[in-house]
Chain A
Amino acid sequence: MDEANPINGAGEPAEIPAETQLVEVELRKALRHVPAPEGLTARVMERVAAREQVRTQRRTFASFVSTHKRAAWWTALAASLLLFLGGDMAYVYRVHELQKQAEAREQVDRAMELANRALAQVHSNMERSGDPFVQFALNLTK
């Protein structure tokens, strides 16, 4: 290849000036492969091993997630249901409590009303009785 035109490759023979030929010869000499640095292979292998380790860890985690994906979905669903039902039950309980309170208040009001009515009846009967002692007692309460 030394005789070939340096620009066109092996195809075209060319008249190459002596200086160019010398540059080419020297270029070839200067660009000969140099030995790789001592321990390059070991360092590459170390980096490969380290990267493989990270990849394995990632793969393990990914495989764990994918294996337990169904379980994770069920767990999430159960948790959601539990939250939903729990919230719903608390709401129902609270409404029930309020209803009970309202009923109790209503019963007390009714009892008071009945007692009031009974007392008014007694009072009216006493007024109508005409008994002087009762009249005297009624006057005392006014």
Chain B
Amino acid sequence: MTATQEQFREIVDTYGSMVFSIALRLVGDHGLAEEVAQDVFLELHSWLPRLESDDHVRHWLRRVATHRSMDALRRRRVRPEGQSEEWDEKYDPASTSGNGNGGMEVAIERMLMSLPESQRAVLVLRYGEDLTPEEIAKTTGDPVATVKSHLQRGLQLLRRKGAVVLKEYVRG
């Protein structure tokens, strides 16, 4: 797939939001997420002649955005893997419940950021990008069984962490 500068600009416009969202949800830092997004598109510019279709481009962008975000996280060690496997007793739902949907989304995002990287990546791809476990496995390069396990453990952890918040939310 070859593209002129103008066509490449359109690709960046089209997929900028997707790539930035994946990076933001994985690294949890606006500046770092933009850096990752720029790097991904820069890499895409070199790879574009080898990509065959729009679907291929989208899949490639998701895969590379996920991997580059994980690389950035590892470099920065923003949230070391496995640090928050256990329930954080100090978690304060009152500080995150907020008012209405916005508050709930912020709470969910915070809980998501507290998950280990691999589980977070799988959840972001499952619920943010609406991918099936098989598609996630292709994207991350992990076996499908590993993806399912990450999904299950991630959801369990989120449920445990969010039980109090969600109850508050349902009552509210």
Interface residues of A (CB under 8 A from B): 1, 6-10, 19-20, 22-24, 26-37, 40-41, 43-45, 47-48, 51
B18 touching A47 by the CB < 8 A rule? no
The answer on a CB contact under 8 Å between A37 and B128 is no
- Given A29-B101, A30-B109, is A40 in contact with B159 using a C-beta cutoff of 8 Å? no
Shortest CB-to-CB span from B101 to chain A, Å, is 7
Please name 26 pairs of A and B residues whose Cβ atoms are closer than 8 Å in the assembled complex, sorted by A.
A6-B126, A6-B151, A7-B148, A8-B148, A19-B159, A19-B163, A22-B166, A29-B105, A30-B104, A30-B106, A31-B128, A32-B128, A35-B17, A36-B16, A36-B37, A40-B34, A41-B9, A44-B12, A44-B16, A44-B37, A45-B5, A45-B8, A48-B41, A48-B42, A51-B42, A51-B45
B101 and chain A: residue at smallest CB distance: A29
**One of A10, A22, A31 near B127 (C-beta < 8 A):** A31
Interface of B is mostly: helix
Do the beta carbons of A33 and B128 come within 8 Å of each other?
yes
Residues of chain B at interface, number, CB under 8 A:
47
* Complex contacts, A26 vs chain B, CB 8 Å: 104-105, 108, 162, 166
Partner among A10, A30, A33 whose Cβ is within 8 Å of the Cβ of B105 = A30
A40–B155 touching, CB < 8 Å: no
List chain A residues, Cβ under 8 A from B37.
36, 40, 44
Evaluate contact between A8 and B133: CB separation under 8 angstroms. Answer: yes
| B13 interfacial by beta-carbon distance below 8 Å | yes
Question: How distant is the Cα of A9 from the Cα of B148 in the complex, in angstroms?
Answer: 9
Interface residues of B (CB under 8 A from A): 5, 8-9, 12-13, 16-21, 24-25, 30, 34, 37-38, 41-42, 45, 101, 104-106, 108-109, 112, 123-124, 126-128, 130, 132-134, 148, 151-152, 155, 158-159, 162-163, 166, 169-170
Evaluate contact between A34 and B20: CB separation under 8 angstroms: yes
Query: B45–A1 contact, CB under 8 A?
Result: no
**B72 → chain A closest CB, angstroms:** 16
How far, in angstroms, from A4 to B41 measured CA to CA in the complex? Answer: 33
What residues of chain B lie closer than 8 Å to A45, measured between beta carbons? 5, 8-9, 12
A45→B159 CA distance, assembly (Å): 42
A7 touching B8 in the complex, CB below 8 Å, given contacts A1-B130, A29-B101, A40-B16: no
Residues of A within 8 A of B130 (CB): 1
Distance to closest chain A CB from B139 (angstroms): 14
- B148: min CB distance to chain A, Å: 5
